Amino acid sequence: MDVVYRRCCGIDVHKETVAACVLRWEEGGQVRKEKKVFGTMTRSLHELAAWLSQHEVTHVAMEATGVYWEPVWNVLEGQFQLLLINPEHYKGLRGKKTDLKDGERIGELLQHGLLSGSFVPPCEIRALRGLTRHRASLAQERVRVFSRIQKLLEDANIKLASVASDVLGLSGAAMLDAIAAGQDDPKKLAEMARGKLRAKLPALRLALEGRVQAHHRFLLRELLDHELHLQFQLGKIDEEIARRAVPYEETVARWKTIPGVDQITAWSLLAEIGTNMDQFPSPQQLASWAGVCPGNNESAGKRKSGKTRKGSPWLRRVLCQAAWAASHTKGTYLAAQFRRFAAKRGKKRAIIAVAHSILVIAYHMLKNTCDYQELGGDYFDRINSEGLKRYLVKRLEHLGYKVQLDAQPQPGSTACT
C-alpha cells in the first residue's frame, strides 16, 4: 500500500489519558513506530505537542470520543494537520485491544490515506457554536416551563389556554401574576385582558373560575420566575451571539432571504457549518453530514431501509424548524415543494426534503457568493404544464364533465370550456 503521509500520528483519546503512536516512514520501506501515553491536563497536552514536533509529525488523527477530544484539538490546532475520525471506522479491525494498539491502528490507516475526517470548524466558529447550542437548550427549557405551567393550570381548574392563544402573552402573563399573588375573582382577572382578547370576556370569566389552592400559587410563582429568568438569559445570549457574528453579517443577511430562515436560524447555520465550504466538496456530502438525506442500505440489488442517518443533531433540528416555517409561506418554491412531497410521502418526509433543499441553497449561496433567487410557488406547474393539464382534464372527466381545450390568443395558454 502506498504511503501518503511519511510522518503522522494516531491518538486514542480518553478522559484522563491519550495514547499516541507516531509512524515515520524511512528509506528502504521501513516504518518506525514510537508510542507514548500522555495525560489530558493542559501541560501534558503541550508535552504531547512538543513530542510530535520532535518527531517532525505533519498529520494527526484522533478519535471523536465524547467531548474529550476537544482539549487535545485546542492544543494541537494550528501546529499540525488534524483529522477527527469516527471510532467505527477502525474499531472493526482484528487484534488485541489496547489503547496504544488503537493509536497504532489509527496511525496506520492515516499513513495510507484510508481515513476520512469529520468537519471541525475553526476556533472562532466553535465559540459561536457553543453559544447557539446553549441558546437552543435555553429555548427548549422555556418550552418545558410553559408545559409545566399549563399542567399546573389544568390541575387548578383554570382553562385559560382554551380561550387565549398565548397563555404567556401580555394579557396572560398579567393574569397569571395576579393569580400567583392571591387574586381569585374571575371578573377582575378577566378585566386584565387587552387587545383582541377583550372580545372574549365572557369566556374568560368562565375559564378563570377555578379551584386555586396555596400550593398552586407557590408553584406558579416559581415557574413564572423561572420563565422570566430564562427570558433574561436568552436576551444576554442573543447580544453575545450578535457581537461575535459581526464579521459574518453579510453571510447572515444573505441567508435570511431564504424563506423560513430567520436571524436565529442563520446564526445556527453559521455556527454549525462555518463559512468555508471547501470542507464539503459537494452539497450532497454536506447534506449527508447533516443527516437530511435518505440513507443507503442496498444488498443483492435490493434497496432496504432508506432511513436517514443521525448526522449533526443540532443542525438537523434547526433545518427542520426552518423547513416547517418555510412550508407556511405563500407563493414560494419551498412551500410548493412541501405540499408536493406531503401529498405523496407524508409530512415528515416532506419536512426532511425541504430541510435538505434549504441546506443545499445555503451551500450554493455561500460557495458562489450569490443571492437567493425565488422560483415561485408555481414552479412545478411551469416545468410540467402538459402533465398538469392532463391531470386536471382527467379529474374533470371523472366528475362527469366533457372537456375541450381551445387555444388562446396569448402564446402558451389555453382555455377550458
Cα–Cα dist 271/115, whole Å: 25
The answer, yes or no, to whether residue 33 has pLDDT greater than 70, is: yes
What are the tens digits of pLDDT across the range 91-133?
A: 645 556 777 888 888 888 888 787 777 778 788 888 999 999 9
CB 313 within 8 A of CB 353: no
CB 267 within 8 A of CB 252: yes
How much is the average pLDDT of 76-94? 77
| Mean pLDDT rounded to a whole number for the chain | 88
Distance of CA 306 to the CA centre of its chain: 20
Q: Tell me the pTM.
A: 0.83
Q: What is the DSSP letter of 40?
A: S
Residue 119: its pLDDT value, please? Answer: 73
From residue 321, give the alpha-carbon distance in Å to each of 253, 295, 359: 19, 21, 12
Cα–Cα dist 258/43, whole Å: 46
CB atoms within 10 A of CB 106: 30
Give the E-state strand segments of 31-80 in sequence order: 31-39, 59-63
Residue 4: its pLDDT value, please? Answer: 82
What are the tens digits of pLDDT across the range 306-329?
A: 677 778 889 999 999 999 999 999
The answer, yes or no, to whether residue 233 has pLDDT greater than 50, is: yes
User: Phi and psi dihedrals of 409, rounded to 5?
Assistant: -60, -35
- Does residue 57 or residue 109 have the better pLDDT? 57
The C-alpha torsion from 273 through 279 and 285 to 289, rounded to 10°, is -40
Cα–Cα dist 139/342, whole Å: 28
Q: Which residues pair with 416 in a beta bridge?
A: 405
Which domains are delineated in the chain? 7-111 (3.30.420.10), 124-244 (1.10.287), 248-367 (no CATH), 384-416 (no CATH)
Cα–Cα dist 386/378, whole Å: 14
Based on its alpha-carbon atoms, the radius of gyration of the chain, rounded to whole angstroms, reads: 29
Q: Which of 107-116, 272-281, 334-343 has the highest mean pLDDT?
A: 334-343
CB 397 within 8 A of CB 403: yes
Task: Locate 168 and state its grid cell.
Answer: 404567556
The answer, yes or no, to whether residue 288 has pLDDT greater than 70, is: yes
Residue 415: its pLDDT value, please? Answer: 45
Residue 121: its pLDDT value, please? Answer: 78
How much is the average pLDDT of 216-221? 96
Residue 417: its pLDDT value, please? Answer: 43
How much is the average pLDDT of 80-98? 72
CB 63 within 8 A of CB 10: no
Residue 409: its pLDDT value, please? Answer: 59
Q: What is the DSSP letter of 208?
A: T
Give the E-state strand segments of 170-304 in sequence order: 298-299, 302-303
What are the tens digits of pLDDT across the range 170-214?
A: 999 999 999 999 998 999 999 999 988 999 999 999 999 989 999
Task: Locate 372 and state its grid cell.
Answer: 437567493
Cα–Cα dist 152/76, whole Å: 51
| Residue 152, CB-side half-sphere exposure with 13 Å CA sphere | 23
- Does residue 391 or residue 241 have the better pLDDT? 241
Please report, rounded to a whole number, the percentage of residues in the chain having pLDDT higher than 90: 61
Q: How confident is the model at residue 5 (pLDDT cuts 50, 70, 90)?
A: confident
Residue 411: its pLDDT value, please? Answer: 52
Residue 382: its pLDDT value, please? Answer: 87
Cα–Cα dist 49/63, whole Å: 17
How much is the average pLDDT of 37-60? 94
Cα–Cα dist 299/306, whole Å: 12
